[in-house]
Each structure stands twice: as C-alpha cells, then as structure tokens.
Amino acid sequence: MSRIAYVNGHYLPHAHASVHIEDRGYQFADGVYEVVALYKGIILDEIGHLERLERSLNALRIKPPVTLPVLRLLIREIQRRNLLQTGLIYLQITRGVATRFHPFPDPPVPSSLIITAKHMKLPNDAIVQKGVSVITIPEMRWPRCDIKSISLLPNILAKQEAIDKGAYESWFLDAEGFVTEGTATNAWIVNEKGCIQTRPTNENILSGITRKTILDVAKDLGIPFVEKPFNTHDAEHAQEAFITSATNYVMPVTTINKKPVGKGVAGPISIQLRHAYLEKMVAENAE
C-alpha cells in the first residue's frame, strides 16, 4: 500500500505530494510542526501536542488553517488511509504561499497544512537495555526554542555531529555549561541521590509533551524528581540518564561523551518509566 499525504485539502500519494516553490515554509522556514506518535493504534498525548501547536502558531502570528476539531479528524483520516498502528504522524503549518518578501504577506494569504504518516518499528528489549550514547556540544540555536519552528538547521548539524562521532544524540550546553536539551529530545538524569532531574521549561528549551507526561508518571509512581539544570559532570556521574520524546518515549542513555553512565546499561528507573508511560497511554485511551 502506498503512503497517503494530506496537502491543503487534498489526499495524495506520498510520492506525488508537493507544495508551491514560494511557500514561505520552503523559502523562509516560516512555519511550525508537530510529531504525534501512535502506539498500537492509540494516538499518544494528542491534545498536548495540538495545544502546543496552537501556542507555536500564536507565537509566530500564523492563523490556523483549520479548527482543532477538524485537525483531529484529519489526523484520524490519515491514520486510517495509511493503516497506521504504530508510527508517527507529522503535521506542518506554514504562513502560506506568497511572493518572496521578508515581511508577512499583506493582505494575509491562507496558511498551508500538510500531514504525513510513517510506520515505525519499536526497538526490542535488548536495544532498550543497551541504551544509546550522547555527546555534548555548545548551544548554537536561537533563544526561542520553546517555539516548535521548522527552522531546524542547528539541530540537523548537531545530530549529524553525533552520528559522525558514533553517538545517537547531541545534548546542547548553555553558556554556563548546563544541558539544555537534545536535538529532538528532552534530557534527564537520575542524580547521585536517586532523584530524577531535568531542566525546567522556559524559552530556551521546548516544553516536551512526553516530558510533561513522564513527570506525571514519576509522581504517580512516587519517584522523586526535581526540575533543575544539570551540567556534564552531573550527567557523567549520575546513576542513570535518559531522553524523552514522542518518537523515543523513554530511551536510556548509557554513555555520555564516551563515558559510561552508571553501570553502562539501562537503569531500573528508566525502564520503569518507559513501561509505565506506555501503560498510562493505553489505560487513558481505554477509558
């Protein structure tokens, strides 16, 4: 079965889906996006993702192309047409098509909406137990990382640097040496006291939807946590480390800058949180 995409009111074969060359997303990266994960047919944290999408649109003063209820219907139709059970749905909204000119189009033009789907295989238990490796690099992004903008060139360069060095992810370090977040993930440790620690959300990191749910899960499980910045030394001497995102759920980090974290394998809290997160998502959608 060929993949089906939604582009500005039309369902098209993925291979033939396209946007105009003067779409401002293509010309200026003038747009926002969200990635929503599906697990066994369940859309994970949907409302959180769509509310964040609205916040990003408001921050860039882009008018939503459809209402939230209509967008939810479109997501389900793309899920249905692609027979998607476990995978990702990608949403992108730009300021629309207009002659290339830096200011906003005046009068405004209709914003553009695309939705695509991708099947995904979950990593098996052995891969999760092995965990992933990260490196740390200086922060080089703009100060408004709380806006989920499609302008991701610094993230791409940082991700490629990780790949080139045999790692899975890069963690950005601010001017004081504290970890902000990964290229597409939130960063966490289980500190030397056994407390989960992650940076508080503000304008210099993305307020992760999975991140918020993991904090709720930790609270439900009675696992102590603190929203407090940590540096490379803290991370390298932590009991555990992990990353979270819509695509990774909870993924243990077992090496940082080629140094093992804890025992160099996935820690018990990371694994507990991963399982509890998926159980929470299934239970909430069964109600």
Given the residues 40, 148, 159, 219, the one annotated as active site: 148
Which residues sit opposite 133 in a β-bridge?
255
Give the chain as a 3 state SS string.
CCCEEEECCEEEEHHHCCCCCCEHHHHHCCEEEEEEEEECCEECCHHHHHHHHHHHHHHHCCCCCCCHHHHHHHHHHHHHHCCCCCEEEEEEEECCECCCCCCCCCCCCCCEEEEEEEECCCCCHHHHHHCEEEEEEECCCCCCCCCCECCCHHHHHHHHHHHHCCCCEEEEECCCCEEEEECCCEEEEECCCCCEEECCCCCCCCCCHHHHHHHHHHHHHCCCEEECCCEHHHHHCCCEEEEEECCCEEEEEEEECCEECCCCCCCHHHHHHHHHHHHHHHHHHHC
Active site residue 165: no
Buried b (16+ CB within 10 A) or exposed e, 130-156: ebbbbbbbebebeeebbbbbbebebbe
The catalytic residues are 148
